[in-house]
Amino acid sequence: MKGEVTLDMVGQRRPRIDGPEKVSGRAVFTDDVRLPGMLHGRILRSRHQHAKILKLDTSKAEALPGVHAVVVAEDAKGIYATPNEPTICGDVTRYIGEELAGVAAIDERTAAEALELIEVEYEVLPSVSTIRQALKDDAPQVDEGFPGNIVSTDFDDWGTTEQSFDEADLIFEDKFVSRPTHNLFAEYHVVVADFSRPEKLDIWTPTQTAYLFQHSFAAAFKLSINQVRIVHLHTGGAFSGRGSVRPHHYIAALLSRKARRPVKIFSSGDEEFLICRTLGDNQYKLRTAVNRDGLVKAIDIEAVLDGGGQGHALGYFGWMVGKCMSWIMDLEGLRFARKVVLTNQRPNFLGHGGMMIGTNAGLMQQLQRIAKTLEIDPIDMLLKNAIEKGHIGMSGETFASCGLKECLEKVRDASGWKDKYGKLPKYHGIGVGMGSMAAGARGAFRHDTSAAMVKVGEDGLVTVFTGIPDMGQGTHTTMAMIAAEVLGITDSEISVVAGDTDITPVDVGAFAQRGTIMTGNAVKNAAEDARAQLAKNAAEWLEVDEAELVFHEGKIFVESDPEKNAPFAKVAHSTLHSKEGRYVMGRGFYTTPVDYGTAAWSFGAQVVEVKVDPDTGLVNVLKVWVAHDCGKAINPLAVEGQIDGQIYSAMSQVLYEECETDEGQYLNPSRLEYKMPRTYEMPDVEYIIVETNDPYGPFGAKEVGEGPIVVGGGAIAAAVADAVGSFLPEIPMTPFKVWREIRKNEYREQRKSA
């Protein structure tokens, strides 16, 4: 086919294809699933941080009328949620909320009554609640297998870190902490499992990855992969929190197998906070070596990560936290040392924005402080250090597109930065942040492949089959738009079938910002395959060479003679009714061309203006200017939607969200006391979409799934620091902590003048 014509569908503001279903209440979520004979499951959880289970007697629970199955550690032998995390704990419980038994009964009330009948005797053991306690010489051991409570120590050193630190004019050092959070998606943790036949396990659950769930369940129950069917329907938000199978999923399957009936488990209120796997209490030390002209030479980060009761996956994913700093600045050296520590807390993993909101909040505050010290405008300093297209990264990454500098310039101009920075009244601040995010992460999962099928019906209506879940990010609409663009039709003529591993082709899932680039390319390839099949028939019909054809506005044209054309639907129809009875089914797949990581990165910059009330410490975010290089905005409406959610979350994590803990217990496990901003708190957002047309992306698109949240975290923190006049060492910067910082500053000033 001749070169691409102008884009019809890609680049349009399109409403979601599942919008009408969702606004009318028709969309089915897992809690809405009701299967014949379905039972309701409940889980007994540990009440102690650290205790030996001396006795666990379920006989009374089993005898309760209406109870159909009870499972204990014995039933779950050999099934692990993470490498060292048993699905049901049988010997020593290491955190409050750890699973001790599961019950399935005819209704929730009976199941709850049964739980109360289970008798547990604990022998309470000494415990550690914080990193500091865990690292003491004589600290109690959380897990015998990990002496000193250290799960892993990892160390990366790229470039010439030590030398650069030696040569640098100045070295800045700050310590900061990010407190535990919760992903807090709208839809609670819920699962329906049907394992009433031994040869097939059906699971309904919200997830970011049906594929990895399928693998985990297959391994756990010694089934072949396709004996497991994962149905994910609509997923009510994920925010990095639905990437792995958790004990409650396995327990539902175990109960269903035992009862030979489907079982639903819906987590309630505070349980939600115990079973999420998100950020813990992480501590960082950040050192930056700079020259007097503002050149950032090297960065050295030491992180101590709170793994909670397990935390084995943290060290592995942690590399990206450091690495992403080298994706924005042309550094000579970067060192990232990290230690994952066990504590008697809920096991921790990653939150919305990975771990990078915390680190970027520290980095951007520090860079703004450095600029202030060196009397350079912070944006000028970022521009001086920002990477450009063609930059070769420290591990040989090649940046084929990069709009970082353009983003910085655009937010600077849009926000009136030059008139504001350094000129605002006291407690009124402005901050800048920048960041980068990898689109895809080969090596982090089993593989990084997405596949897709495109079926062209004889009526010309098209169905896209994809395994990627849509947790709200709008991927299914994006996929419809990509297929529509290739086929020269509109997205309203396309339906997307997803969310059932019995039907849909393989897709690693919706994380690591891989949806648009990996699945998008797979759908594009599949649509092109379908187009080629249609072209064959159209060429016969129009009596031209296939290469002459253009698919556009629902028709197939001969490019040199547009009068010669055939309607798309007619061609689809005639293909099936051709002599050979051809039926058009395109297939495609895609993985990143690099061996490790990805070939495409998004870039972004933001400016944030805040006002702080010095009497109360309350921070009011006035406005956020966002510039994001997503490569190409396939659907600008969805890009804005992604930015909105991430500004919200960045602000929420930097200013509000905190799981307060006391001896391993979460003190505020509710949607009321775990503070997240609501309508009043939301600032104005101005969007600037920067398009750099990445050569690897479908139609040039990269990602907008997690880039803006990291940038936002940095910019908001920098703005608060600017308003307060000093580095804030802890996120979230709640009113109390901001107020405390202001008091400290006042005290320092008084002492200085005295």
Partner 1 sequence: MAKHIMSLTVNGDKSEFAVDDTDTLLDVIRNQLSLTGTKRGCTTGSCGVCTVNNDRGEAMLSCLTLAREWDGESVTTIEGLEADGQLDAIQAAFVEFGAVQCGFCTPGVIMSAKALLNRYPQPTEEQINEGMAGVLCRCTGHIKVKDAIRNDFRLRHDLANQSKNKSDNDAQEFKPEPGFSYTGKK
Partner 2 sequence: MLLPEYNFHKPKTLDECLQVLSKIGDQGQLIAGGTDVVFNMRLRLFQPEHLVSIRSLEELQTIEELPDGALRIGAGCRLEDLSHHQVIQQKYPALKESIDAVASTHIRNLGTLGGNICLQTRCWFTNNSEEWRKGREGCFKTDCEHCHVIQTAHRCHAINNSDTPVALIALDATLTLAKAGETREVPIADFYRCDGEDFCILEPDEMVTAITLPAIQKSSVFLKFTPRRGMDFSLGAIAASANFFNGKVENVRLVLGSISSAPIDLVGPAKILEAEGLDDQAIEKILPLIRGEMGELTNLYGRAGYKKQIARSLVERAIIKLRELQNG
Q: HEC profile for 435-450? A: EEEECCCECCCCCCCE
If one asks whether residue 218 binds partner 2 (CB under 8 A), the answer comes out as: no
In this structure, the number of other CB atoms found within 10 A of the CB of residue 502 comes to: 11
The least CB distance from residue 667 to partner 2, in Å, is 5
Binding-residue total with partner 2 (CB under 8 A): 32
Q: Which of 112, 376, 461, 532 forms a contact with partner 2 (CB under 8 A)?
A: 112
The least CB distance from residue 100 to partner 2, in Å, is 12
Q: Hey, which residues does 104 pair with through a beta bridge?
A: 41, 69
If one asks whether residue 61 binds partner 2 (CB under 8 A), the answer comes out as: no
47 makes contact, choosing from partner 1, partner 2, none, with CB < 5 to 8 Å by partner type, with partner 2
492 makes contact, choosing from partner 2, partner 1, none, with CB < 5 to 8 Å by partner type, with partner 1
> Which of 234, 287 has the CB closer to partner 1?
234
The least CB distance from residue 233 to partner 2, in Å, is 25
As given in the structure block, the two tokens for residue 198 are: 């031994």
648 makes contact, choosing from partner 1, partner 2, none, with CB < 5 to 8 Å by partner type, with partner 1
In this structure, the number of other CB atoms found within 10 A of the CB of residue 306 comes to: 26
Between CA 449 and CA 746 the distance in angstroms is 56
As given in the structure block, the two tokens for residue 487 are: 């086929």
**From residue 637 to residue 656, what is the string marking binding to partner 2 with x (rule CB under 8 A)?**
-------------------x
b/e burial code for range 741-750 (CB count within 10 A of at least 16 → b): bbeeeeeeee
If one asks whether residue 426 binds partner 2 (CB under 8 A), the answer comes out as: no
Q: Hey, which residues does 172 pair with through a beta bridge?
A: 288
Name residues contacting partner 2, limited to 364-393 (CB under 8 A): none
If one asks whether residue 476 binds partner 2 (CB under 8 A), the answer comes out as: no
Name residues contacting partner 2, limited to 500-539 (CB under 8 A): none
The question of whether 706 is a catalytic residue gets the answer yes
DSSP-derived letter for residue 279 is -
If one asks whether residue 418 binds partner 2 (CB under 8 A), the answer comes out as: no
> Which of 16, 346 has the CB closer to partner 2?
346
Q: How distant is the alpha carbon of residue 407 from its chain centre?
A: 23
Q: Which of 609, 640, 706, 730 is catalytic?
A: 706
- Report whether 484 contacts 642 (CB < 8 A): no
Residue 744's nearest CA partner among 732, 727, 719 is 727
> Which of 532, 676 has the CB closer to partner 1?
676
> Which of 124, 392 has the CB closer to partner 2?
124
Q: Which of 144, 680, 750, 752 forms a contact with partner 2 (CB under 8 A)?
A: 680
The least CB distance from residue 635 to partner 1, in Å, is 9
Between CA 702 and CA 706 the distance in angstroms is 11
644 makes contact, choosing from partner 1, partner 2, none, with CB < 5 to 8 Å by partner type, with partner 1
Find the part of the chain contacting partner 2 (CB under 8 A) among 338-346, 491-499, 676-684, 700-708: 676-684
Residues 6+ apart with CB under 8 A from 25: none
Distances from the Cα of 439 to the Cαs of 2, 370, 520, in angstroms?
29, 30, 12
Residue ranges binding partner 1 (CB under 8 A): 12-16, 18-29, 31-32, 184-188, 234-237, 239, 266, 268-269, 471-474, 492, 637-638, 640-641, 644-649, 652, 670-672, 676-680, 682, 685-686
Residue 97's nearest CA partner among 351, 348, 346 is 346
β-pairing, 228-231 vs 200-204, is parallel
Find the part of the chain contacting partner 2 (CB under 8 A) among 55-63, 263-271, 387-395, 695-703: 263-271
> Which of 368, 646 has the CB closer to partner 1?
646
Q: Which of 34, 222, 579, 678 forms a contact with partner 2 (CB under 8 A)?
A: 678
Which 3 state secondary structure label does DSSP give 501?
coil
Distances from the Cα of 112 to the Cαs of 61, 64, 98, 266, 687, in angstroms?
10, 11, 17, 12, 49
Sign, CA dihedral 373-376-378-383, equals: negative
735 makes contact, choosing from partner 2, partner 1, none, with CB < 5 to 8 Å by partner type, with partner 2
Q: Hey, which residues does 567 pair with through a beta bridge?
A: 555
Between CA 265 and CA 57 the distance in angstroms is 22
Residue 193's nearest CA partner among 185, 203, 183, 207 is 203
The least CB distance from residue 655 to partner 2, in Å, is 9
Active site residues per annotation: 706
Binding site for partner 2 (CB under 8 A): 45, 47-48, 96, 108-109, 112, 268-270, 615-616, 618, 656, 665, 667-670, 672-673, 675, 677-681, 734-736, 739-740
